[in-house]
Homo-oligomer: A and B are copies of this chain.
């Protein structure tokens, strides 16, 4: 069992780097210097610099081979999951208690995730009823940092004719989220795939609950994750 590092021992920057590496790794693409730089809006040189420090820490938070990218150690992964937990709990709080819309929460949580204490995290989880998913359907690691299962099928890969349920929206872009919200494409809703174009990734779907048809482009078809009903 790796000793878990308390968040207050990590700077805000360090927490954001670890989280970015974790999320890039989850997304499958691997955590290249440039992708970390893009995600955090810093220069590639800054990433190299930070990544070298993370690798030289005791205990090391990443393993790093020059020019071949970076991976989280177990300590690094736990630290990242801790920040992910806080981020998503805060998003849930913002929507359910403070009445934020789901496109407003990310920015706010991005700062607050670094400012809360372990006590705050614990009390917040209790207040919210130990939620397993955030407003975007993103899974919230529990207090032991175990992630609940979450759906893995992007809408654009669902078979035509199939009726599925939206369970997650993997995109932070506020404009995209507002648009999905207008359409009514939120976690929990049912969708029937009418047609699916493999070439240009456009979709025609029916929102079963609203008896409404909409056309979705590539960005939306990739962002909306679904599960079979």
A residues lining the B interface (CB < 8 Å): 94, 97-100, 104, 107-108, 111-112, 114-117, 119-120, 123-124, 127
- Cβ–Cβ < 8 Å partners of A99 in chain B: 123
- Let me know if B111 and A123 touch, CB within 8 A: no
- Let me know if A124 and B98 touch, CB within 8 A: yes
- Let me know if B123 and A117 touch, CB within 8 A: no
- Let me know if A98 and B123 touch, CB within 8 A: yes
Contact of A123 among B100, B107, B127 (CB under 8 A): B100
CA distance A111 to B115 in the complex (A): 6
- Interface centre among A94, A104, A112, A124, by most B CB within 10 Å? A112
- Let me know if B120 and A98 touch, CB within 8 A: yes
Further pairs besides A97-B97, A115-B115: 16, Cβ < 8 Å: A98-B120, A98-B123, A98-B127, A99-B123, A100-B119, A100-B123, A104-B119, A107-B117, A108-B116, A108-B119, A108-B120, A111-B115, A111-B116, A111-B117, A112-B115, A114-B115
CA distance A117 to B112 in the complex (A): 10
- Can you list 17 residue pairs at the A/B interface with Cβ under 8 Å? A97-B97, A98-B120, A98-B123, A98-B127, A99-B123, A100-B123, A104-B119, A107-B117, A108-B117, A108-B119, A111-B115, A111-B117, A112-B112, A112-B115, A112-B116, A114-B115, A115-B115
